[in-house]
Each structure stands twice: as C-alpha cells, then as structure tokens.
C-alpha cells in the first residue's frame, strides 16, 4: 500500500495526519468537514490525484488513487466520499472531456483544492434512470442556456464548478458551470442521517448561460 511510485507517501501521511487532526465524531456532530482538513488535503494533492503534473496535480493512475481512497475510507467514510467525489465526479469529466481552454482554466485550481468540483445529474424525477432527466440545454448564439432542477449534488454549495447534465436535441450532454454564473442558484441542503459532514444540495438552473468551450462531451443518445 505504501508504494506510490515515486509520489509522496500519501498513505503514510494520511495515517499520521488522522491520528492527530481528524475527529470523525466532531465532523458528524457539526455536520461539516473542518477547513483545516480541506486545506491540508488540497496542499497534499489529495483533491486532484489524477490531474497531470503539468497542471499541478499528482498524475496518479486508477490503482494508486483507489489505494488512497481505500485508506481514507478506513479512516473516515465521509472524507473518502468528499475526496472521491472531487477527484472522480468533479475533476475526471473535465479531464477526459473538457476543451483545452477549459482544462487550462480549471485543472490548476482544482488540482490543489483552491476550488472544489461537483456533479449534478440526479433530479426529483430521475435517479436510477438518468435518461429521464428533464433539465434542458437550449442553443443560443454562442452556447446554451440550461434550465432545470438538480438534487443530491454533493459539495455543490462549496464548489467552484459543477458538472451539469442536460437534455440536448434528444441526447444528454455535460456542461461545466462556474459558481457565480447568472441563474445558478443553490437550494436547500439534504440533511442526511449518515455521512453528515458532507453537503448535498438542490441546485436550481434558471436559464444559466454556458459558452461553447464549457461543453464536456458530445451528447450520448439513449
């Protein structure tokens, strides 16, 4: 487990860090991950493990990333969800499907945890069946406008970018939406019985404009 192919020994670091700086009971009682953990994880590269080194990430492969998430899950499942979500649902769509300009804009800040990334697919009428999403992307001159409601979006209220999925001409497309974009509104938090330190938000999309360079992938037909 400790061999991370020349990378800093994050597993050793995590074990030592957890002994002194992670109090899972307080995370649960306070319903919040303390700021020092987010900052320290960001500085260690844990929030952008698979981002290439050129963009400031650790450039780890899937196996090593999973070893680290496994260790983190043994320490605290809420932190493993938080870190896994940022790396996998937040960063990977941008890494795999973002335009060169989008990657240059976002990856350096996501790799070091200066901003967080979230993923918004689920809706009140679409959970296990994501093809049923009702959020729409309507073409405009220089991109699209997104309209709809997302629920259960982990880290959404804390995120600098949310990967939003919407119906577009009979298929589903992904769009990277930055915090502060007109019409993007955070709704209520779902107060869960477990994983209480994470936030899951409702996200309202009220004619949110997204430019062509923020498209994450060509649409996938059902």
Ligand X SMILES: Cc1cc2nc3c(=O)[nH]c(=O)nc-3n(C[C@H](O)[C@H](O)[C@H](O)COP(=O)(O)OP(=O)(O)OC[C@H]3O[C@@H](n4cnc5c(N)ncnc54)[C@H](O)[C@@H]3O)c2cc1C
Q: Which of 8, 12, 61, 127 binds ligand X (CB under 6 A)?
A: 127
Rank residues 50 and 153 by Cβ distance to ligand X and give the closer one: 153
87 binds ligand X (CB under 6 A): no
Window of 37-45, 99-107, 148-156, 205-213 that interacts with ligand X by CB under 6 A: 148-156
Contact in structure between 32 and 197 (CB atoms under 8 Å): yes
Q: Which residues pair with 120 in a beta bridge?
A: 164
* Near ligand X by CB under 6 A: residue from 122, 138, 181, 186: 122
Residue 119, interface with ligand X (CB under 6 A)?
yes
Please give the DSSP secondary-structure letter assigned to residue 137: E
Residue 11 is classified by DSSP as: H
- Closer by beta carbon to ligand X, 27 or else 89: 89
Q: How far is the CB of 44 from ligand X (least distance, A)?
A: 23
Q: How far is the CB of 75 from ligand X (least distance, A)?
A: 18
- Cα separation, 128 vs 152, in Å, equals 13
Helix (H, G, I), strand (E, B) or coil at 218: coil
Residue closer to ligand X, measured from CB, 149 or 181: 149
160, 181 Cβ separation under 8 angstroms: no
Bridge partners of 107? Answer: none
CB neighbours of 135 closer than 8 A, spacing ≥ 6?
123, 146, 147, 148, 149, 150, 164, 165, 166, 167, 205
CB of 111 to ligand X, least distance (A): 20
Residues with Cβ < 8 Å from 180, sequence gap 6 or more? none
Site for ligand X in 174-193 (CB under 6 A): 192
Establish if 154 lies at the interface with ligand X (CB under 6 A).
yes
Stretch that binds ligand X, among 28-36, 117-125, 175-183, 202-210 (CB under 6 A): 117-125
Helices (H), 143-222: none
Token pair of 195 as six digits = 């994983």
Nearer to ligand X, 69 or 89 (CB): 89
Q: Does 121 bind ligand X (CB under 6 A)?
A: yes
Pick one of 137, 159, 162, 195: the residue that binds ligand X (CB under 6 A).
195
Number of residues that bind ligand X (CB under 6 A): 14
10 binds ligand X (CB under 6 A): no
- Comparing CA positions, the residue from 187, 156, 186 lying closest to residue 82 is 156
Residues lying near ligand X in the complex (CB under 6 A) are found at 85, 89, 119-122, 127-128, 152-154, 192, 195, 200
């Amino acid at each position: 487990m400790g061999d991370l192919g020349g990378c800093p020994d994050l597993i050793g670091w995590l074990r030592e860090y957890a002994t002194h700086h992670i109090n899972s009971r307080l995370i649960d009682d306070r319903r919040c991950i303390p700021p020092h953990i987010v900052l320290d994880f960001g500085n260690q590269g844990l929030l952008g493990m698979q981002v290439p080194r050129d963009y400031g990430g650790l450039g780890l492969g899937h196996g090593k990333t999973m070893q680290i998430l496994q260790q983190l899950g043994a320490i605290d499942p809420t932190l493993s969800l938080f870190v896994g979500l940022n790396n996998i649902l937040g960063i990977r769509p941008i890494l795999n499907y973002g335009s060169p300009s989008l990657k240059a804009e976002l990856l350096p800040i996501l790799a070091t945890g200066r901003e967080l990334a979230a993923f918004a697919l689920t809706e009140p009428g679409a959970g296990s069946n994501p093809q049923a999403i009702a959020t729409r992307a309507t073409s405009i001159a220089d991109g699209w406008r997104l309209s709809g409601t997302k629920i259960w979006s982990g880290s959404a209220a804390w995120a600098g970018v949310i990967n939003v999925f919407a119906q577009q001409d009979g298929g589903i497309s992904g769009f990277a939406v930055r915090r502060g974009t007109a019409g993007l509104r955070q709704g209520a938090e779902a107060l869960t019985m477990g994983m209480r330190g994470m936030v899951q938000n409702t996200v309202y999309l009220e004619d949110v404009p997204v430019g062509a360079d923020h498209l994450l992938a060509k649409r996938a037909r059902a």
